[in-house]
Amino acid sequence: MSVSRVGIREVATLAEVSLGTVSHYINHPDRVSPEKQERIQRAIDQLGFVRNNAAWQLRLGRSATMAYIAPDVSNPFFATIAEGVEQRAAAEGFSVFIANSGRSRAREDAYLEQFEAQRVQGLLVASHDPIEERLLQVRQRGTPSVLVGQRAVSPLQPSVSIDDVTGGYLAARHLMDCGRTRIGFVGGPLGIRQVADRLEGASKAVAEDPAVTLEVITVADRTIAEGRTVAAAIAQRPPASRPDALFAVNDLLALGLLQALVVDHGVTVPEQMALVGYDDIEFGESSIIPLTSIRAPHEEFGIAAVELLLAELSGERTDAPRHVVFPPSLVVRESTVRTRQA
Amino acid sequence: MAPASLRDVALRAGVSVGTVSNVFNHPEKVSAAVIARVQAAIDELGFIRNDAARQLRAGRSKTIGLVVLDVRNPFFTDVARGAEDKAADAGLTVILGNSDENTDRESAYLDLFEEQRVHGVLISPYGDITGRLDRLRQRGIPAVLVDRSSGDLSFSSVSVDDHAGGRLAVEHLINRGRRRIAFVGGPMQLSQVADRLDGARVAVAAHPLVSLETIETDALSVLAGRAAGVGILARAVEHRPDAVFAANDLVAMGVLQALLMQGSAVGVPEQIALIGYDDIDFASAAVVPLSSIRQPSALIGQTAVELLLAQAADAEVAPRQVVFEPQLVVRESTGG
C-alpha cells in the first residue's frame, strides 16, 4: 500500500488551471467547461491518481484521515480492534490517527475538538463517559462518527458494540454450571455502560438459582494493578467468607487477580476460586493459568466500525442498520475448569 | 448547518479558493493585503476553529505526532503514556500513528504530521528517514528519535543501550549453564533487533563452548514467536536449542505458547530456558513468568517530549542523545 502524495495542487499545475477549478471539477463539474474537465481528468490519470481517497484529497487538498479516540490504548483489546480499523481504513486509502484519552473526560474533549479542527473525515470514538450528545454536535457541524464499544441510543448515531448483557450472563452462568455458589463480580465504576451491562447479565444468571449469591466488588480502574489490589483484599478475608468464583469485567483485572491470588496469596485457581475474564486478549491464553474469558470479535469489530463510517461518509441513504451488535461467546480454559495436572 | 468552507472564505474575501489555500500553505506567495483580507473573512465567518487558520496566527499546532512501530506492543503504549503525560504538562496533546513496521505507512504519517504543522514529531523509525526529518526541521518542525539512537548525532534521541541489553540477556543464559542459544527476532533492518543480536554475539564470543544461532522472524509479534516456537519443536530433540533469547516479550510469549501448548514434552526452563525483552506488564503474569530485559518505557516517552520541547523552543539548541541502561529481570522462565 502506498499513499499517493499527489494533491490538488499537482493536478492543478499539470492541468494549468486554478486550484478552485479542480475543486469545482470534483464538487460541481457542471461549473467547469468541458475543455477544462478534460484537462483535469487527463492530469488526474497521468498522475496515477486513481486511489479511493483521490476524491477526498482533491476536495480537501490534503490526505484522507480518520481518527480513533480510545480510553486506554494499553489494553490489548484496544490494540486488536485498532488492527481491524487500520486494515480496513488502509484498503480505502485512509490513514488512522490514534488518540488515547486516558479515561479522562477533559482529554477526550480536547481530542474531539482537535480532530474536528484538523478536519479529519470521520471519528471512531470509544468512551467510558456519556458521549452521544457531544458526538451529535460534532456531527451537526459536519464530522460524522461511529461510537465504538457501546450501543448508541440515538438511531442516527452509528455504533458498533458487543451484547454485554449476554456476555455477563454467559460468564456467571458458566461459573454456576461449574458448581459455584458465591460469585464475586469485580468491576466498576458502575456508571460505565459496559460495566453496568455485564453486571446486569450476571445478575440475570444468578437470579435463576436462589442458592447462588452475587457480591459486587467495585473498582475505580480496570487494570492489572487494580486486580492485584482486589486480590489482596479478598485474600485477607477468612476463607469461609471469600467468594468461590470471580467474574472480572475485563481480562486485565482478571490477570492481576489471578497472578496475585496464585503467586502472592497461595489461593488455588480454579479449585478454591474459579475466575472468568472478559475480552479474551491474547495474553489470557498464555497466562499463569490459562484464563477463561468472554470473547468478542476482534478484527471484525474494527472492520465493522470503519465500514459504518465509510457508509456515513458516502452520504448515501441505505437500509443497512446503523447499530452493529456482535454476540459474545464463552471461551473455557483452566481458570474455571482444570484439565491437566499443574 | 454546514460549516463555513474554504469557498465561503474565498467568496467573502473576494479571492479565489486557490489564493485562500496559498494563504494557509504558502503565505510567502500572497501579498500582506490579501492575507489580511482572508484573515478578516475567516474571523467574520466565525467558522469552527480550523487548525490551518489558527496556525496562520499561532504558527504551530498544539499537537505532537508520535509514530510507533507497533501499537499492539505494550512497550510502545507505555512510551506513549509517558509522552502524553509530559505533553499534557506543557498544554500539548499527542496523536499516534502506527507504522506497523511498514515504510509506506511510516512515510504517510510523516506527511500527515507535516501537513498539520504539528509542534514536533517523535518517531521510532523503521526505514531510513533521516532525509525526511531534515526536511521537517527545515520547515520548523523538530523531531526526536525514540528507542533509536541518532547515528550521526544530528537529531535528539532517546534510546536504551540495546547492545548492552542483548549482552545481559545472553550472559545470564550462559551463567545458567546454557550452551546452545537461539536468538529469535527480526526483521534485522530494525536496529533494535540488530543491536540486541550484536550484544548477544559479544557475550557468546567470550565462551568457546557456547553457540548462537539466529532464527529470523518477519515481525516482532506473538504470532511470529509462535511460528518460531513451532519450528523449534519440529526439530529432533538433540538439534533444539537449550535456551532462547527473544528480541522482545511479544515474541517470547509466542515462543512460550508454542513450546507449552503443542502437547510437547518440553519444559520451560527445564529443557529450554527463555528470556524476552522490554518487561511488559504481561511478562510477569505469563504461564511461566518471563525473565526479561527491562526498559524504562514511560521515562523514554517523557524524556523524548522534554527534548522535543527544547528543540521547539530554540531550533539552534544542540541535539541531545539520551541513552538509558537496560536492566535484567530474572523470573522462572530462566530458572528464577
Residue-range domain boundaries for chain B: 6-58, 63-160+297-325, 162-295+329-334
For residue range A186-222, list pLDDT tens digits in order. 999 999 999 999 999 999 999 999 999 999 999 998 9
Judging contacts by C-beta atoms under 8 Å, the chain B residues touching residue A79 are 71-72, 77
**Residue B269 preceded by cis peptide, ω within 30:** yes
Judging contacts by C-beta atoms under 8 Å, the chain B residues touching residue A255 are 282, 285
Q: Hey, do A65-163+300-327 and A164-296 end up sharing a CATH topology, with the first three levels equal? A: yes
pLDDT value for B56: 45
At the top level of CATH, which class does the domain B6-58 belong to? mainly alpha
Nearest Cα residue to A114 out of B56, B93, B97: B93
pLDDT value for B114: 87
Subunit contact B72:A65, Cβ cutoff 8 A: no
At the top level of CATH, which class does the domain A164-296 belong to? alpha beta
pLDDT value for B57: 44
Q: Hey, do B63-160+297-325 and B162-295+329-334 end up sharing a CATH topology, with the first three levels equal? A: yes
Residue B286 CA to residue B222 CA, distance in Å, equals: 13
Could you give the C-alpha distances from B161 to B71, B190, B192, B200, B327, in angstroms and in order?
A: 22, 14, 9, 13, 10
Instruction: Tell me the fold of A65-163+300-327.
Output: Rossmann fold (3.40.50)
Residue A63 CA to residue A121 CA, distance in Å, equals: 10
pLDDT value for B51: 52
- The mean pLDDT value for A142-151 works out to 93
pLDDT value for A157: 94
Which residue from B6, B107, B257 is facing A285, i.e. has the nearest CB? Answer: B257
Residue of higher predicted confidence among A111 and B151: A111
How many CB atoms within 10 Å of residue B151? 13
The residues in A 7-26 lying below 8 A from B, measured between CB atoms, are 9, 12, 18-20, 23
Size of interface A-B (CB pairs under 8 A): 144
For residue range A26-66, list pLDDT tens digits in order. 656 677 888 888 888 888 767 654 333 344 444 555 568 99
Which residue from B7, B81, B111 is facing A74, i.e. has the nearest CB? Answer: B81
Nearest CA in chain A to B97: A97
A256 CB within 8 Å of a chain B CB: yes
Q: Where are the beta strands (DSSP E) in chain A?
A: 65-70, 95-100, 122-126, 145-148, 159-162, 182-187, 213-218, 245-248, 274-276, 293-295, 323-326, 329-331
Q: Does the predicted model carry a pTM greater than 0.90?
A: no
pLDDT value for B210: 97
**Shortest alpha-carbon distance between residue A97 and chain B (Å):** 5
Percentage with pLDDT > 90 across chain A: 56
One digit per residue, pLDDT tens: chain B, 336 residues?
Answer: 345 677 788 888 888 878 887 776 666 778 888 888 887 887 777 544 445 544 444 456 889 999 999 998 889 999 999 999 999 999 999 999 999 989 989 999 998 898 888 999 999 999 889 899 998 998 889 999 999 988 888 999 999 999 999 999 999 999 999 999 999 999 999 999 999 999 999 999 999 999 999 999 999 998 899 999 999 999 999 999 999 999 999 999 999 989 987 567 789 999 999 999 999 988 888 888 999 999 999 999 999 999 999 999 988 889 999 999 999 999 999 997
Instruction: Tell me the fold of B162-295+329-334.
Output: Rossmann fold (3.40.50)
Identify the CATH number of the domain defined by range B63-160+297-325. 3.40.50.2300
Subunit contact A95:B109, Cβ cutoff 8 A: yes
Q: Which residues of B285-296 are buried (b: 16+ CB within 10 A; e: fewer)?
A: bbbbbbbbbbbb
Whether A335 contacts A289, CB under 8 Å: yes
**Shortest alpha-carbon distance between residue A323 and chain B (Å):** 25
pLDDT value for B4: 63
Nearest Cα residue to A292 out of A342, A264, A334, A235: A334
Subunit contact A287:B115, Cβ cutoff 8 A: no
Which residue from A95, A114, A285 is facing B108, i.e. has the nearest CB? Answer: A95
In sequence order, the 6+-apart residues with CB closer than 8 A to the CB of B313 are none
Nearest Cα residue to B297 out of B334, B248, B240: B248
Which residue from B2, B95, B253 is facing A97, i.e. has the nearest CB? Answer: B95
Residue of higher predicted confidence among A269 and A319: A269
Question: Which sequence spans correspond to the domains of chain A?
Answer: 8-60, 65-163+300-327, 164-296
For residue range B182-193, list pLDDT tens digits in order. 999 999 999 999
